[in-house]
Structure 1
Amino acid sequence: MSKLVVQMYLSLDGVMQAPGAADDDRDGGFTHGGWMAPHVDKAMSRDIVELHAQAAGLLRGRRMYETMARYFPHLTDDENPAASAMNRVSKYVASRTLTAVNWQNSTLLPGEVGSEIARLKEQRGDEIQVLGSGQLVQTLMRHDLVDEYRLWIFPVLLGSGKRLFAGGTMPAPLALVGTKVTATGVVIHTYERVRSRLST
């Protein structure tokens, strides 16, 4: 059985929208894209690459997949240290609108997301990582398919934007299993899903 890991970059007030670049996601008139950049140093970049190297599979929604598929196939490790790992690893794309995926080692999961991912977790026995893909993560949480959250909390307040734990989040107990603070003030919390019911 695979462990499904959600790795998400969040502002201090919980916003996950467009951390990497201004034009990543302007839904809702969001104008703060690229907010994580001032806090990313060489050590953090190295940590991100090492975490990606742990993945035997990457799970993406359509928007995140298309963004990465335009970028990584044309890069070398000198240009982006994660390039080789991203191109080599198995990639699974949850989409009902795509008809084909052309980035090497990519597989389209066109059916109902909950059952497709549950089946994928049963077939594999290693770590599947989800990075970004906020809408997909919301679906995974509703189906209680997430085993671990790696939350990178950046010291910035945005005031608006899409949030990871928004209204309708399913109640679930978690256990804090790791915390790290970077030199730029980013706090990385790792939580495991506790497979028991919350007391009422």
Structure 2
Amino acid sequence: MRKLIVLEFLTLDGVIQAGGGPTEDTSGGFVYGGWQVPYSDDLIGKVMEKQMNMSFDLLLGRKTFEIWAPYWPEHSEIWPKVMSVTKYVASNTITSHSWKPSVFLNGNIVEKIQKLKLEDGPNLHVYGSANLVQTLMQNDLIDEFWLKIYPITLGSGKKLFMEGTIPAAFKLIESQISQTGIIIANYKRAGEIQTGSF
């Protein structure tokens, strides 16, 4: 059985859209593309190097796949593993692509991802994929969040936690703070919400 891990770069107000560059995703009139770049430092580089070299398969939404497919083959020296891992893509419109190995999941995405999680194999890592992540959260399919929280607010853009997020408890399993103020925090699912009274 494999874990499904969502790895996201986000702002203090939860925006995950287009952290890597100005033209990455301008949908909805988003003008702050590239907001991650000024905060890059040695620690975030080391954390990403470690995560990018683990054993994993990718699970991506269609839009993220379409951004990545032309980029990573041209920059594979940065992340060689991304070329050989299986890329599972949630899409009802794409059925094949030259960036292989790729498997396209259409129809009942939730059911197909549930089956994927039950298989033997490496953990499934999800990057970006804002719409897909909402579906994963609503159906309680996420085992861990590995977050990089940047010290800025943007006020608009695609967010990680939106309407429809189910109540769920998590346990912090690893944390660090970079020199530029990025909070690196990994959480694993820890059952149901507990309440109390003071």
Does TM, normalized by the shorter one, top 0.5? yes
Q: Alignment partner of 2:116: what SS?
A: helix
Asked whether the 8 Å contact 1:8–1:152 carries over to 2, the reply is: yes
Give the structure 2 partner of residue 176 of structure 1: 172
1:139 to 132, 135, 144: 135
Name 1:197's counterpart in structure 2: 192
Percent pairwise identity: 41
Please report how far the alpha carbon of residue 174 of structure 1 lies from its aligned counterpart in structure 2 after TM superposition. Answer: 0.8
Cα deviation for residue 76 of structure 1 reads 4.2
Give the equivalent residue in structure 2 for 1:67: 67
> Mind listing any 5+ residue stretches in structure 1 that lack a counterpart?
none
Contact 2:76 2:83 in 1 (8 A): no
AA aligned to 1:117 is: I
**Cα deviations across residues 91-142 of structure 1 (Å, max 9, x unaligned)?**
1111011121221211111221111111111113431100100100000011
Alignment pair present for 1:18 and 2:18: yes
SS of aligned partner of 1:45: helix
TM-score of the superposed pair, with normalisation by structure 2 = 0.93
Structure 1 position 45, deviation (Å): 2.5
State the alpha-carbon separation in 1 of the partners of residues 41 and 113 from structure 2.
34
| Corresponding residue for residue 56 of structure 1 | 56
> Partners of 1:175 and 1:123 in 2: how far apart?
25
Give the counterpart of 2:115 among 90, 115, 119.
119
Distance in 1 (alpha carbons) for counterparts of 2:51 and 2:4: 13
Q: Name structure 2 gaps, 5 residues minimum.
A: none
Q: How does 1:28-177 map to 2 (within 5 A)?
A: 28-77=28-77, 81-82=78-79, 84-177=80-173
SS at match of 1:141: helix
Find runs of 4+ consecutive structure 1 residues off by over 6 angstroms.
none
- Using the size of structure 1 for normalisation, the TM-score is 0.92
SS of structure 2 residue aligned to 1:87: helix
Question: How far did 1:56 drift?
Answer: 2.0
